[in-house]
Structure 1
Amino acid sequence: MKKIFLFLFMAFIFTACGDDCYNAPQTIAFEFVNANDENLITNGTLSNFSVSEENQSGIQLTKTSDNKVILENVGAYNGTKNYIFNSNVKNFNFSIQSSEFKGGCDGYQINKLTFKGIGIDVKDEKGYYKIILE
């Protein structure tokens, strides 16, 4: 996770200068665990999963070396979009509310992430969301 933050920090430094620059929204990462705090990807329980936008287009996912999942290219819009997480363990919905900001560099920021579903619990950890699937 430290590598991701270092990469984002360096990307910000190199893009913060100049008239034409753009700041992408913050990275959203999920870790899926069970009630015993065991990573479900590591132990093989969560073997098949995807995320799609409400209009059914798939979202690119990147699995990290510590078995977290990064959602690619989400949050670069004004307003709220709804997403669906599908897996062999549990399905749930979530929404991302984003807005445009202007400043030294234009870009987007994620204002709110809302999870909806029965039998899930979400903890906002430092830099990622821990999703407990029961």
Structure 2
Amino acid sequence: MKKIVMFLLLTFVLTACGDECYNAPQPIVFEFVDADDKNLIINGTLNPYSVSDENNVGVQLTKTDDGRIILENVGAYNGTKNYTFYSALKIFEFSIQSSEFKGGCDGYQINKLTFKGVGIDVKDENGYYKIILQ
């Protein structure tokens, strides 16, 4: 009986060491404001809005309680991908450049976010991008 328990314990330890882990890229968060720093999602000016990738596939968006938008499941690839933000107020394009990294856990990291479009100003705040629509 002791030998069976030791065998099972050793088998469990050896298989647990081989587990892979994955780190998803950091989330991208947008806050949309006007020139007076009023949040355009909270006051309803920006609604409706959506984001699509270069293949016209919609990106899942999550609205936070403080009027920001989290772009879900972007950046998990090697290379650059183009996106378009659509709203009744403004349409603009942006691209996300990502790369794979290896280490304790494999995953992806977002290296660069580039905005394109006239009539927007973007400020990189702590943990989110404040997009000022003019």
Report the equivalent of 1:39.
Answer: 39
2:21 maps to what in 1?
Answer: 21
CA deviation map 1:87-120 (0-9, x unaligned):
0110000000000000000000000000000000
Q: Which 4+ residue blocks in structure 1 deviate beyond 4 angstroms?
A: none
Q: How does 1:1-134 map to 2 (within 5 A)?
A: 19-134=19-134
Bigger radius of gyration, 1 or 2? 2
Question: Structure 1: how far apart are the matches of 2:123 and 2:55?
Answer: 27
Q: CA deviation at 1:44?
A: 1.4
Letter in 1 for 2:100: E
- The CA distance in 2 between the partners of 1:130 and 1:80, in whole Å, is 22
Q: Deviations over 1:15-69 (max 9, x none)?
A: xx97410000001000000000000011111111000000000000000010100
TM, length-normalised to structure 1:
0.86
Name the CA distance, whole Å, in 1 between partners of 2:59 and 2:44.
22
Partner of 1:8: none
**What is the letter of the counterpart of residue 130 of structure 1?**
K
In structure 2, what is the Cα distance between the partners aligned to 1:121 and 1:62?
22
Q: Which residue identity does 1:97 align to in structure 2?
A: Q
Would you say how many aligned residue pairs link Structure 1 and Structure 2? 118
Which ranges in structure 2 are unaligned for 5 or more consecutive residues? 1-16
Q: Calculate the TM-score normalised by the size of structure 2.
A: 0.86
Specify every segment of 5 or more residues in structure 1 that has no aligned partner in the other structure, as ranges: 1-16
